[in-house]
């Protein structure tokens, strides 16, 4: 097996073998999906059309934004990256393969949600599966970029949680997951454009639900793509193998540049 294949297979197994990763990749999002979908569709039937996009975005948030950064920080702090480095593992593999395998876990759980929600909660399935694929891939790409960037710049796992929650909680509350963006007040609806979840929901509406391709959908596609590319580029640039006596190529504050596409998305929404 090639080095990439061996590394990918190991990281994929780790996502199932490690209890905390299993929790973030599968148990927490699936239990949340089951409980919240059951309650929300009973309490608020208008939530039904949003079950699939909201829960898929939730899945990507838990596995890629909450779950992915910690192992990267731990690998740096525990000297795992040092072992990788002296044995010839390239920096890009050390960074991207965990992101890729976590993304695969997220896609698996997203598909479980998408295929079971119409049966369990009478949620409407995507009308356009090609559009759904674009929505899923871009959402996963954007969230994975943010997760990797958080893992690269966080000094320790406590800081990781802080950064992750800055994305996770607002996404849940004003990012269109629990409350549709269209029902938010004008200023709040605009501010919600700062979070990727709002753009993912817009892309789902336009491409998968078949509401029609418009300027907002195009903008959201651009924001997710640009946000993901910028996050991965910054993570690669700021990556450091070690935490002891090591200077990065740039200040960790450079990572804040990742908000530029999202600020643009908010301003132009």
Partner 1 sequence: MRPMNELAVKVSELTKSYGQFVAVDRISFEVRRGEIFGLLGPNGAGKTTTLECLEGLRRPDGGSIRVADTDPTRNVKGLRNAIGVQLQTSGLPASMTVGEAMHFFCAYHGVKPRYDLLDRLGLKEKNGTQYHALSTGLQRRLALALALAHEPPIVIMDEPTAGLDVPSRVQLHEIMAELRAKGTTILLATHDMAEAEKMADRVAIMVRGRIVEAGSPRELTATGSTLTKITISTADGMFLSGERSLPGLQRWAVQEEYFVCFSIDVGATLKTMLASIEKSGDRIIDLRVERPTLEERFLEITTEKSA
Which residues contact partner 1 (rule: CB under 8 A)?
1-3, 5-7, 10, 13-14, 17-18, 75, 78-80, 82-83, 85-89, 241-242, 245
Q: Which is nearer to partner 1, 190 or 240 (CB)?
A: 240
Q: Which is nearer to partner 1, 5 or 186 (CB)?
A: 5
Cβ neighbourhood burial of 23 (10 Å; 0-12, 13-18, 19+):
middle
Q: Which is nearer to partner 1, 72 or 117 (CB)?
A: 72
Shortest reach from residue 178's CB to partner 1, in Å: 34
Q: Which is nearer to partner 1, 80 or 184 (CB)?
A: 80
Shortest reach from residue 249's CB to partner 1, in Å: 12
Q: Which is nearer to partner 1, 3 or 38 (CB)?
A: 3
Structure tokens belonging to residue 200: 């993912």
Shortest reach from residue 67's CB to partner 1, in Å: 15
Q: Which is nearer to partner 1, 86 or 187 (CB)?
A: 86
Shortest reach from residue 244's CB to partner 1, in Å: 8
Q: Which is nearer to partner 1, 215 or 242 (CB)?
A: 242
Q: Which is nearer to partner 1, 7 or 209 (CB)?
A: 7
Shortest reach from residue 74's CB to partner 1, in Å: 8
Shortest reach from residue 94's CB to partner 1, in Å: 11
Cβ atoms of 222 and 261 closer than 8 Å:
yes
Give the number of other Cβ atoms within 10 Å of residue 44's Cβ: 12
Q: Which residues, including other chains, have CB under 8 Å from residue 207's CB and lie 6 or more apart? A: 128, 130, 131, 132, 134, 135, 213, 217
Shortest reach from residue 22's CB to partner 1, in Å: 11
């Amino acid at each position: 097996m090639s080095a990439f294949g061996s590394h990918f297979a190991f990281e994929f197994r780790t996502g199932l073998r490690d209890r905390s990763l299993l929790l973030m990749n599968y148990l927490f999002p699936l239990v949340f999906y089951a409980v919240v979908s059951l309650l929300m569709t009973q309490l608020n039937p208008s939530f039904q059309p949003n079950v699939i996009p909201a829960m898929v975005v939730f899945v990507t948030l838990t596995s890629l934004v909450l779950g992915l950064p910690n192992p990267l920080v731990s690998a740096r702090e525990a000297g795992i990256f040092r072992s990788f480095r002296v044995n010839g593992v390239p920096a890009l593999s050390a960074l991207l393969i965990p992101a890729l395998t976590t993304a695969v876990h997220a896609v698996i759980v997203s598909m479980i949600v998408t295929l079971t929600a119409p049966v369990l909660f009478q949620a409407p399935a995507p009308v356009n599966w090609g559009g759904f694929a674009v929505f899923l891939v871009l959402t996963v790409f954007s969230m994975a970029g943010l997760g990797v960037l958080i893992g690269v710049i966080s000094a320790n796992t406590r800081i990781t949680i802080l950064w992750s929650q800055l994305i996770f909680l607002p996404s849940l509350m004003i990012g269109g997951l629990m409350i549709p963006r269209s029902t938010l007040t004008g200023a709040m609806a605009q501010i919600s454009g700062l979070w990727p979840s709002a753009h993912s929901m817009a892309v789902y509406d336009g491409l998968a639900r078949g509401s029609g391709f418009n300027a907002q959908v195009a903008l959201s596609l651009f924001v997710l793509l640009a946000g993901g590319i910028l996050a991965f580029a910054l993570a690669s640039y700021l990556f450091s193998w070690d935490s002891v006596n090591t200077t990065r190529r740039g200040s960790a504050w450079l990572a804040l540049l990742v908000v530029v596409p999202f600020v643009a998305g908010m301003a132009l929404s």
